[in-house]
Amino acid sequence: MIGLLTSLSPDEQRLLSDAPPGAELAAQPMLATLSDRRDFGAGGWVFERKLDGVRVLAVRDADGIRLLSRNGLRQNGTYPEIVDALKAQDTLDFVLDGEVVAYSHGRTDFARLQQRLGITDERQARASHVAVSYYVFDILRLDGADVTRLPLRTRKSLLRRALSYQAPLRFTPHRNEGGQELLDRACRHGWEGLIAKRATGGYQPRRSGDWLKLKCERGQEFVVGGFTEPAGSRTGFGALLLGYYEGPRLRYAGKVGTGYDRTALRDIRRRLDDLEIAKAPFADRIPEHTAHWARPELVAQIGFTEWTKDGMLRHPRFLGLRDDKEPREVVREEAEGGASVSGR
């Protein structure tokens, strides 16, 4: 595969350098910024589908293959079929960036993927009825070279040619033109939204305005700081009490009581009982008479329609727990010009 790098133009070859160890290069993935922008002109951006899954970086080098979450947790036991697909590649040295998803009725479904996230035993993962796909959308290292300074279009060309794509490994397609019309079409198809990426941009190990999230509906991660008791025939708990960090303070964002099945209600209650504390972790006063408090260690993915004027979530629904995000990273998402944002 050295030929792929020698096929680059002289100007592009000058942007190459010796790569640091693969795991080190994968330690700080590039993150997108939430945006309301819809006018992108022509030619300067590419547009990818925003997938409803979890970020995974894949490293292959002399030490073997490692799948890593965005916060560095090893995922080999969770997705052994992806390890198999990468092990079968002719290319022996790479770092990839991508998203692992599960499908339900033709759409990516985070709630379905949730059934694989807690599995760490390879045999149990292989026996799971939840099939996953790994959509790769960027390459950071190839044959010992750091390619992150290359333009995105060049990196995607290398990525397409460096690997063989068979299930569960997928190349993430893109469009060269987009805006409101393309986003509207994506939303009609039930997609989560689009990622707009600057075509000439390099891969930056930080959050950048060169990658923009264009969402069909609101949704983000929240920290679980407590729960209410169930009522009637319901088991487990009534609702989760949610928050986000504003500096060192955990601000209250409301409660979510929908989106759970009976298994989730039982499993989450068991985890919350282990985290129970005597004092509320929120900086705000919480008007819940049956509240139990929990150490803010669990992170939940929540969909909702909007923020109310008093800073609460409107019509929230639970989508699943995540283990790829540190609670202290969870802040209130705002479009460009607002606060810091979270997520891919």
Give me the numbers of helices (H) and strands (E) for the chain, helices first please.
Answer: 9, 21
Q: Is 143 exposed, middle or buried (0-12, 13-18, 19+ CB in 10 A)?
A: middle
What the block records as the tokens of 265 is 């209600």
Using DSSP's 3-state secondary structure scheme, residue 218 falls into strand
| Selection from 305, 332, 320 nearest residue 240 by Cα | 320
What the block records as the tokens of 186 is 């994506």
Structure letter (DSSP) for residue 172 = -
CB contact at 8 A, 344 and 195: yes
Asked if 87 is an active-site residue, the reply is: no
**Residue 103: beta bridge partners?**
108
**Residue 126: beta bridge partners?**
none
- CA geometry: angle 199, 204, 207, nearest 5 deg: 100
Token pair 């190349």: residue: 171
Q: Which residue in the list 50, 213, 215, 325 is annotated as catalytic? A: 50
Cα–Cα distance measured from residue 152 to residue 158, given in angstroms and rounded to the nearest whole number:
10
Peptide bond just before 168 cis, omega within 30 deg: yes
The arrangement of strands across the sheet holding 193-198 comes to: 31-34, 207-215, 193-198, 45-49
Q: Residues with catalytic annotation?
A: 50
